[in-house]
Amino acid sequence: MLAVEQLALLAMHPPGPRGHNPTREGCRRDGPLMSGNAGIVSMPVERSRPAIGSHVAVGGGLVRVGLREAEEVEAEVIQIFASNPRAWRPSRVDPRLDVLFRERCAELSVPVFVHASHLINLGSPSAQTRESSITLLAHTLRRAADLGARGVVVHAGTSVSRGRREVALGALHDLVGRLLDEVREQVQLLIEPTAGGGEALASTVDSTIEYLAALDDERVGVCLDTCHLHAAGEPMTTATGVQHTVGRVAASIGAERVGLIHVNDSRDASGSRRDRHESLGNGQIGVEAFAGLFLSPELASVPMLVETPSHREDVAFLKSQRSLVSRVTITPTSQ
């Protein structure tokens, strides 16, 4: 068992004007959480040191705006939109800026991920939408390669209407396989399960496993979002729950295919199927759970990104959790 002092240590955060989780008394970002067992299980812990960063805006310039923000929040990894996320037409490209961005990221040793357009829906009943989605996703993969990105994140999609799930899943293998055969870039495609609304094709662990089985392509990885998993009803409010959820995914698809973690709290209750991000520790997931990310050996080298308005504070909070977990030792207690 972990000693009580260590449990308190895991839940501590440097003093700051942060809020609290209204659902659990004493669960605060600005002080120790004294909640019994803090959701930590007795087990050997592999010391994990994943890179921590955030999604950054690049409107106004990849280098001038995007990397400046990355440096301000002290991000060790970043995610960007390479184009307008709510437009089918790709943004104009300046190859010289691509080179500057790629070189500067290399100098800073900051890995890059690109989030694809929110319009892309690989499960759409419309053939035109599916083809437009594949065309835009192909462009995004090529842009990501030009920017030196490690991966492209795309939402798993929706069948739109009830009764189409099996048909939509059945079309994935050929659709995505053709895309990856044609593009052939050294950029991994990462499927992001969503919060579960609107006939989502992948949201829970079980539906995500089914989705990836339908794809049947080991070139495709997964990006897990803590808010989405919580909204889909997975147990994400304790460190134990987070470890259990991550472990189920890794055991089913292989830990090496978990390529990225989006770390977000949720404004809504578990199972709400609503995708509304909140600052870490101030939402319904709460501060206690996030230590579970660093206690999961499957995530030892998986980058973690926040997508919250308070990303500077949240990056610092995750770094503090990473540091605290690295100092924890497992000690037996007398019976």
Is the CB of residue 123 less than 8 Å from the CB of residue 160?
A: yes
210 is in an annotated binding site: no
Residue 255 lies in a domain: yes
Does residue 181 have a known ligand-binding role? no
pLDDT over 90 at 209, yes or no: yes
In degrees, to the nearest 5, what angle opens at C-alpha 327 toward C-alphas 325 and 328?
65
- pLDDT computed for residue 236 by the predictor: 98
Domain assignment present for residue 32? The answer is: no
55 a known binding residue? no
For the chain, what is the domain count?
1
Is 307 marked as binding a ligand?
yes
pLDDT score recorded for residue 98: 94
**244 marked as binding residue:** no
pLDDT in tens, 230-243: 999 999 999 999 99
pLDDT of residue 328: 66
High-pLDDT (> 70) share of the chain, %:
83
Question: Residue 52: pLDDT above 80?
Answer: yes
- The vertex-304 CA angle with 115 and 45, nearest 5°, equals 150
Long-range contact pairs involving 86-92 (C-beta distance under 8 Å, separation at least 24): 86/117, 86/118, 86/119, 87/117, 87/119, 88/117, 88/119, 88/132, 88/136, 90/136, 90/139, 90/143
Residue 115 marked ligand-binding: yes
CATH number of the domain enclosing 66: 3.20.20.150
Q: Is 103 annotated as a binding residue?
A: no
Tell whether 173 is in a known binding site.
no
Does 230 reside within a domain?
yes
**Which pLDDT band holds residue 204 (cuts at 50, 70, 90)?**
very high
Quick check: is 22 in a domain? no
236 Cβ partners below 8 Å, 6+ apart?
Answer: 226, 229, 230, 242, 245, 270, 285, 289
Closest of 133, 174, 186, 135 to residue 155, by C-alpha: 133
Average pLDDT over residues 164-184: 95
118 is in an annotated binding site: no
User: In the prediction, which pLDDT does 327 show?
Assistant: 76
Establish if 27 belongs to a structural domain. Answer: no
The dihedral through the CA atoms of 66, 70, 76, 79 has a sign that is negative
**38 within a domain of the structure (yes/no):** no
| The pLDDT of residue 36 is above 50 | no
Provide the token pair at 333: 């207690």
Question: Which whole number is the average pLDDT over 106-126?
Answer: 97
Domain with 233 in it: 4-14+49-327
Angle of CA points 23, 28, 31, to nearest 5°? 155
Residue 81 within a domain? yes
Q: What is the per-residue pLDDT across 119-159, written as a single tens digit (0 to 9) for each?
A: 999 999 999 999 999 999 999 999 999 999 999 999 999 99
So what's the pLDDT on residue 326? 82
Residue 247 lies in a domain: yes
